[in-house]
Amino acid sequence: MKARGGDAMTSDAIRAQLDTGLEELGLPLSQVQKDKLLEYLALLLKWNTAFNLSGVKDASEMLSRHILDSLTLQPYMQGERVLDVGTGPGLPGVPLAICFPDKRFDLLDSNGKKSRFVFQAKIQLGLDNVTAQNVRIELYQPEAVIDVIVSRAFSSLRDFVELTKHLVQPGRTRLVAMKGLYPEEELALLPEGFVVNKAQKVTVPGYTGERHIIELSATSAE
């Protein structure tokens, strides 16, 4: 695997970067899981040249800013069913599904091109625990109660809550949003009936930008 632009980024270097990043995250994975993460990275790089799935073009940067970034959510993966809203090319859902094969992941996006890529990744990586859904979140009706709803680059916290509240079961479902800078203004605009359980600043291996994870839950039925 070579990074775009002629950089001599070999597959060995990428693999070493992944190993170091997983160690920093405290996430021990099998060799099979590591290979699937790297295969997903290769798919992203390949499809990105034709379909512009991400503004990140460099393999090393994509590993850090997309895959390792997604895996900072691993402490929040409690429960059996996870919904990834606005998944785009499968972020954070695909990396998390690789790491947690015992959980079900529904990956939603209204963009048909990106949903087709997620479906291709599911097939090629053999991710039987992933369902790719090309549907708007307000129209989505799951087969079972969702335990965790995640968003990485979806919307404001207020819109995230408003668009997913029909899927929230108070006392069970948690909303987990990935943000860059601490979203103080967004938190001040949260709808009534929702509270912040946790607001955590996390370090993404290989990335110097800020990353905060906000966990919300409903206090009463909407």
Q: How far is CA 25 from CA 78, 117, 141, 205, in A?
A: 17, 27, 33, 8
CATH 3.40.50.150 fits 73-218, yes or no: yes
Kindly list the domain boundaries of the chain, sorted by start residue.
11-66, 73-218
Model pLDDT for residues 3-55, shown as the tens digit of each residue: 443 343 458 999 999 999 999 999 999 999 999 999 999 999 998 888 888 88
Model pLDDT for residues 80-139, shown as the tens digit of each residue: 999 999 999 999 999 999 999 999 999 999 999 999 999 999 999 999 999 999 999 999
Q: Please write down the long-range contacts of 26-29, taking CB distance under 8 Å and 24 or more positions apart.
A: 27/71, 27/74, 27/99, 29/99
Amino acid found at 87 = T
Q: How many residues does the chain have?
A: 222
Q: How confident is the model at residue 8, as a pLDDT?
A: 35
DSSP type of residue 35: H
| Two tokens, residue 52 | 């512009």
Query: pTM score, two decimals?
Result: 0.93
